[in-house]
Structure 1
Amino acid sequence: MIEDFPFLRPEHQFRVAMCVEYRGSGYYGWQIQKTGVKTVQAELTEAISRVANEPVDLIVAGRTDAGVHASNQILHFDTSSYRKEYGWTSGVNTLLPNDISVQWTHPVDTGFHARFSARERAYRYIVYNAPMPSGILRDGLTWERRDLNLERMQAAAERLLGEHDFSAFRASNCQAHSPVKDVRELRLVRQGRLIVLQARANGFLYHMVRNIMGVLLAIGRGDKPVEWAREVLEGRDRNLGGITAPAAGLYFVRARYDRKDLPEREAGPAILDGFSGLGEV
């Protein structure tokens, strides 16, 4: 009942959390740009503001860059407009392009912050390892024609686990205050023609997952030895690393919070439903 939550009453400013899914192929990343290019944040801000009948500012758990997708992106906004959860979700979805979709909406107290309350974030990177590229899922996968050695890639990934200075895996224009991150999982699983990297950490630097995958792909092809991953890490120099893996295979799949009231969904993306070996995210 609304009477049980004073911050939900129409006469008060209150906070709303949302989970959104989007295909990033047609967008210049999450964040609104001064140049006016198409971004996910711009589309959502316009749609939510229309449903709220007032301007809103969106705060997001993880700002994805150009071409990167999300299956469980979390955001929040403050508004003085009261809408039921279904009203927010369905109303906003009717105003969005078909490559962005709100999955759920939930009222939260003002102590919740989509970015700063997140204690962990997770990404999945999908590689299509086959002689020829996929004609159907090309925008959602990264194609690698050469056969990849999963055991070598996993051994290299384990050299990167733990809390380290990841300067060698951050883009030159990364704006993070510190390059030190705690990487808690780098798990690689193969099923059929798909190889998936599942990455969990307390936070990620700009291009960090794509740069890690670039190193792992070089090792999986046999171009570099397994120990090269650790050498790149300890060198703390981006120039020592490999190429940045393409954006098409990367998905933001989870932000974890110390609260039990937020709805849960499968990590996704949906093409991985039933994919064995990844475990919980």
Structure 2
Amino acid sequence: MKNIKLTIEYDGRRYLGWQRLGNSEKTIQGKIETVLAQMTGEEIEIIGSGRTDAGTHARGQIANFKTESNLTSGEILSFLNRYLPNDIVIKDVEEVGERFHARYNAKGKQYSYYVWNDVIPTAFYRHHSFNVPQELDLLKMEKAIEKLLGTHDFIGFSALKKTKKSTVRTIKEIRLEKEGSMLHFTFIGDGFLHKMIRILTGTLLEIGMGKLEVDVIDEVLANKIRQGAGETVPASGLFLDQVFYS
């Protein structure tokens, strides 16, 4: 039995997210499993590093699966990219140790969120960014970013209700870069809660617009109430860039 690790890139526009649902044709996992089953003649289940929501994109999603197939990594790579739709691309195939688990072994992740900050919308990036026409105070946003760094209970910045699992996460870095009209947020941490990055981005944008004050970060971290944070920005601007392993 071989354990195969995949590095996957996808445009999430047409899909209901990563996780296989009843209609597997509408999920990334379902699409890949269907092709793997055709390739191996086996019933294959792939394990992703985590779920991405409907409409979210990935440059470096990681998954693994077990197979009895004797196909080489190169043959698997060629077959998948030949038969998968062109908005799902396998960037790398590697045989790994039997204990490797894409989700449980992940030590951290990097995400990007893109905002087109201009009164004139963009034709080219409209499916991969969120258009914000208002002028933004980037200095206030940077001050708010500083408050988010470190280890906190981020449940107030998530779509979770109540959970028995820990909602404490560590954000190691948030970068805000501007090139022309495009704002690029980079988030690096040990993990992120459901819709956490989209809510953090929405909160930072509302601080930049003057709708919220910088201190709202401290308030939501303290009271853990979702309603105090900003809006959830659309999935279209969100990319999973990289998953980190030890």
TM-score by length of 1: 0.84
* Cα distance between partner residues in 2 of 1:141 and 1:195: 9
Q: CA deviation at 1:192?
A: 1.0
Match of 2:147 in 1: 159
Is the CA contact (8 Å cut-off) linking 1:174 and 1:205 kept in structure 2? Answer: no
More displaced 10-residue stretch of structure 1: 182-191 or 223-232: 223-232
Q: CA deviation at 1:217?
A: 0.5
1:107-163 deviations in Å (ceiling 9; x for gaps): 001121111111111101011111122112211111111122222111101101111
Counterpart of 1:190 (choices 147, 170, 178) is: 178
Counterpart of 2:119 (choices 127, 131, 145) is: 131
Q: Supply the RMSD in Å over aligned alpha carbons.
A: 1.5
Is the CA contact (8 Å cut-off) linking 1:24 and 1:66 kept in structure 2? Answer: yes
Match of 2:212 in 1: 224
* Cα distance between partner residues in 2 of 1:51 and 1:128: 41
Q: Is structure 2 residue 56 aligned with structure 1 residue 68? A: yes
Is the CA contact (8 Å cut-off) linking 2:111 and 2:240 kept in structure 1? Answer: yes
Q: CA deviation at 1:35?
A: 5.3
Is the CA contact (8 Å cut-off) linking 2:49 and 2:103 kept in structure 1? Answer: yes
% of aligned pairs identical?
35
Closer/same/farther in 2, CA of residues 174 and 33 from structure 1, 3 Å limit: farther
* Cα distance between partner residues in 2 of 1:153 and 1:249: 18
1:49-88 deviations in Å (ceiling 9; x for gaps): 2122211111011210011000000000000002112211
SS in 2 for 1:87: helix
Q: CA deviation at 1:174?
A: 7.9
Is the CA contact (8 Å cut-off) linking 1:58 and 1:76 kept in structure 2? Answer: yes
The one-letter code sitting in structure 2 at the alignment partner of 1:217 is: L
The one-letter code sitting in structure 2 at the alignment partner of 1:159 is: K
- Structure 1 runs of 4+ off > 3 angstroms? 172-176
Is the CA contact (8 Å cut-off) linking 1:124 and 1:198 kept in structure 2? Answer: yes
Q: Is structure 2 residue 26 aligned with structure 1 residue 38? A: yes
Match of 1:214 in 2: 202
Q: Is structure 2 residue 93 aligned with structure 1 residue 105? A: yes
The one-letter code sitting in structure 2 at the alignment partner of 1:82 is: N
* Cα distance between partner residues in 2 of 1:114 and 1:172: 23
SS in 2 for 1:140: coil
Q: CA deviation at 1:93?
A: 1.0
Match of 1:114 in 2: 102
TM-score by length of 2: 0.96
* Cα distance between partner residues in 2 of 1:191 and 1:53: 48
Match of 1:266 in 2: none
SS in 1 for 2:65: strand
* Cα distance between partner residues in 2 of 1:137 and 1:238: 30
* Cα distance between partner residues in 2 of 1:162 and 1:24: 30
1:217-243 deviations in Å (ceiling 9; x for gaps): 001112222122221222201111111
How many equivalent pairs are there?
246
Which structure 2 residue ranges, 5 or more long, are not aligned?
none
* Cα distance between partner residues in 1 of 2:36 and 2:125: 29
Match of 1:49 in 2: 37
* Cα distance between partner residues in 1 of 2:95 and 2:166: 32
Match of 1:236 in 2: 224
1:233-273 deviations in Å (ceiling 9; x for gaps): 22201111111011000000111111xxxxxxxxxxxxxxx
Match of 1:8 in 2: none
Which structure 1 residue ranges, 5 or more long, are not aligned?
1-12, 259-281
Q: Is structure 2 residue 156 aligned with structure 1 residue 171? A: no
